[in-house]
């Protein structure tokens, strides 16, 4: 049943709902999910700088990446208006995220899409439960996930994103320090670069976030 968004839920109902979303994320394929408070979210200008130096292939190619994504000051203001969120992780086999073959064949793409879809479904469920201002952040660039072979339609005057109910800015695109956030709640996370071989890491990590209320 769709819940009346005007009615204020009790603290007990809120925490029941948050646990429901946490379990929903796992049921949808996340390796783990945690209910977090806003002091867990770390926003750092240096994260946004990494989109530019060295410049990410997604930079300027779509509406959800810099320079079109929300500014860090906007994100800070948004975060201050929430109290709880759901942070999810998806562990990616090392062979699918590190090494030449993984890069050339883009083997991590299905995992990136999976995180984005989980976030979209949790955001939608929260919306229908009355948390109509819930907002999600995924990972990576939405263009590589949904529109790798065409220009971003959201940047074309008079057009709109054909995947607007799924495509979201990544956490890193809006300056969230995913590495520190994951480490601070006890999740292992490993930096993976062009020189990283699959044998050097146990797995890769993909993160997503839904701010609930």
Residues 45-95: pLDDT tens digits? 999 999 999 999 999 999 999 999 999 999 999 999 999 999 999 999 999
What percentage of residues in the chain have a pLDDT greater than 90?
94
Total length of the chain: 213
Tell whether omega for the bond before 212 is within 30 degrees of 0, i.e. cis: no
Give CA separation, 73 vs 42, 76, 134, in Å: 13, 5, 19
- Within a 10 A sphere around the Cβ of 60, how many other Cβ atoms? 15
Q: pLDDT tens digits for 166-184? A: 999 999 999 999 999 999 9
β-strands 135-137, 203-211 pairing = antiparallel
Task: Name the burial class of residue 39, with classes exposed (0-12), middle (13-18) and buried (19+) by CB atoms within 10 angstroms of its CB.
Answer: exposed
For residue 6, pLDDT beyond 70: no
Q: CA distances (Å), 125 to each of 67, 74, 78, 212, in order?
A: 30, 25, 20, 10
Full-model pTM: 0.95
Q: How far apart are CA 213 and CA 211, in angstroms?
A: 6
């Amino acid at each position: 049943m769709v819940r009346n968004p005007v009615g204020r839920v009790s603290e007990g109902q809120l925490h029941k709902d948050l646990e429901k979303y946490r379990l929903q994320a796992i049921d949808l394929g996340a390796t783990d999910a945690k209910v977090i408070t806003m002091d867990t979210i770390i926003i750092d200008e240096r994260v946004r700088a990494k989109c530019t130096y060295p410049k990410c292939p997604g930079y300027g190619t779509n509406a959800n990446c810099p320079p079109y994504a929300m500014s860090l000051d906007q994100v800070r203001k948004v975060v201050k208006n929430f109290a709880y969120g759901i942070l999810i992780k998806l562990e990616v086999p090392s062979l699918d995220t590190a090494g030449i073959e993984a890069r050339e064949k883009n083997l991590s793409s299905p995992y990136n899409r999976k995180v984005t879809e989980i976030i979209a479904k949790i955001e939608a469920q929260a919306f229908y439960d009355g948390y109509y201002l819930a907002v999600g952040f995924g990972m990576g660039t939405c263009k590589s996930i949904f529109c790798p072979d065409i220009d971003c339609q959201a940047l074309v005057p008079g057009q709109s994103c054909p995947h607007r109910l799924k495509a979201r800015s990544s956490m890193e695109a809006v300056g969230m320090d995913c590495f520190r956030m994951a480490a601070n709640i006890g999740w292992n996370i490993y930096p993976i670069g062009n020189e990283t071989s699959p044998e050097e890491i146990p797995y890769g990590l993909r993160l997503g976030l839904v701010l609930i209320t």
